[in-house]
Chains A and B, each alone.
Chain A
Amino acid sequence: MASTLALAGCGGPVSTLDPAGPAADAIARLWWVMLIGAVALFILMMALFGLVMLRPGAGSGLSRRGWILAGGLGMPLPILTALLIYALIQGERLLPHPDGGPNGGVVRVEAVARQFAWEFHYPELGAGAAGTTLNVLHIPAGRAVDVTTRSDDVIHSFWVPRLGGKIDATPGHSPTIRLRADRPGLYAGLCAEYCGTGHRDMGFTVEAHPPALYEQRLRAALAGEEAQ
Chain B
Amino acid sequence: MNRPVPHPTRHLLMIVAGFALWALAFVLLYGTQATGCKAGWHLVEMGPANLLRLVLALLFLLHLGAMLALVRYLRRQVVPMAGPVRFLNRVALFSAWAAIASTLFTFVWLFWLSPCQ
- List chain A positions with a Cβ less than 8 A from chain B: 81, 88, 92, 95-97, 176
* Bitwise interface map of B from 80 to 112 toward A, beta carbon under 8 Å scored 1, else 0: 000000000000000000000000010001000
Apart from the given pairs A88-B109, A92-B113, A92-B114, 8 other A-B contacts in the complex at a CB distance below 8 Å: A81-B105, A88-B113, A95-B114, A95-B117, A96-B117, A97-B114, A97-B117, A176-B117
Residue pairs across A and B with Cβ atoms less than 8 A apart, 11 shown, are: A81-B105, A88-B109, A88-B113, A92-B113, A92-B114, A95-B114, A95-B117, A96-B117, A97-B114, A97-B117, A176-B117
Q: Which residues of A contact B113 (CB under 8 A)?
A: 88, 92
> What range describes how many residues of B lie at the interface?
under 10
CA distance A96 to B105 in the complex (A): 26
Q: Which residues of A contact B117 (CB under 8 A)?
A: 95-97, 176
Report the minimum CB–CB distance from B56 to chain A (whole Å): 16
10 closest cross-chain pairs (CB), A and B: A95-B117, A95-B114, A96-B117, A88-B109, A92-B113, A92-B114, A88-B113, A97-B117, A176-B117, A97-B114
CA distance A64 to B79 in the complex (A): 28
> Which of B105, B109, B117 has the most chain A CB within a 10 Å cutoff?
B117
Residue of B nearest to A173 (CB): B38
Residue of B nearest to A95 (CB): B117
Q: Which residues of A contact B109 (CB under 8 A)?
A: 88
Report the minimum CB–CB distance from B116 to chain A (whole Å): 9
Q: Which residues of B contact A96 (CB under 8 A)?
A: 117
CA distance A95 to B105 in the complex (A): 22
Report the minimum CB–CB distance from B38 to chain A (whole Å): 9
Report the minimum CB–CB distance from B5 to chain A (whole Å): 31
CA distance A81 to B113 in the complex (A): 16
> Which of A81, A92, A97, A176 has the most chain B CB within a 10 Å cutoff?
A92
Q: Which residues of B contact A81 (CB under 8 A)?
A: 105
